[in-house]
Structure 1
Amino acid sequence: MRRILIFIAAAVFSFPVLAMHCPKDMARIDAMLQNNPPNDIEVRERVAKLRAKGEDLHNAGEHEGAVEVLGEALGLLESAS
C-alpha cells in the first residue's frame, strides 16, 4: 500500500515538471532551426511538423506525449548537425 501511495505521489508531482519542459524544448528547437538549420529540407519539414504537433499536445494538456514528440524533433536536429 505504501509503495502505491509513493507511486501516485511521484506521478502527481511529475506532471507539472513535464508541462514546464515543453516550452523549453520548443524554444530550443526554434533556436536550432534559426541559428543552424539542417541542410536537408526533408529533415527541416519533419522537425517543423513534430514541433507543431508537440505544441498542440502541450496546449491540449498531454505533456507526456508532447515531451516525446519534441524529443524526437530534437534528436533529428542533433543528428543532422
Structure 2
Amino acid sequence: MISRISIALMLALAPMTAFANQCPTMMAAIDAAMPNASLSEADMAKVKELRAQGEQLHQSGDHAGSEAALGEAKKMLGI
C-alpha cells in the first residue's frame, strides 16, 4: 500500500520537475538564435527584456510565467 502511494506521488511530481527544466532549454534556444536574428533594434530589445524576465521568473520559481515570457521571445525570433 505504501509503495503504491509512493509511486503515485512520484508520478504526480514528475511533470513539475520536467516543466521546471524546460526553462533553461528555452533560454539556450533564445541565446543561440539572437546573434543571427534580423530584428529591429526595438524588437531585439524586447526579446532581450523577455529573456531576462523569463530567467528571473525561473529563478524565483514561477515556471509558468517564465515559460510565457520565454515563449513570447521565441515567437518574436521565429523559433
Question: How far apart, in 1, do the equivalents of 2:12 and 2:30 lie?
Answer: 27
Residue 60 of structure 2 corresponds to 60
**TM-score (normalizing by structure 1):** 0.77
TM-score of the superposed pair, with normalisation by structure 2: 0.79
State the match for 1:32 in structure 2. 33
Q: Number of residues paired by the alignment?
A: 71
* Alpha-carbon distance in 2 for matches of 1:10, 1:51: 30
Q: Post-superposition shift, 1:15?
A: 1.6
Deviation at 1:11, TM superposition (A): 6.1
Structure 1 runs not aligned, ≥5 long: 1-7
How far is 1:10 from its partner?
7.0
Taking only aligned residues, the RMSD between alpha carbons, in angstroms, comes to 1.9
Amino acid at match of 1:76: M
Match of 1:45 in 2: 45
Q: Retained in 2: the 8 A contact 1:15–1:63?
A: no
Shift of 1:14: 2.1
Higher Cα radius of gyration: 2
**Percent identity over the alignment?**
37
Question: What SS class does the counterpart of residue 43 from structure 1 fall into?
Answer: helix
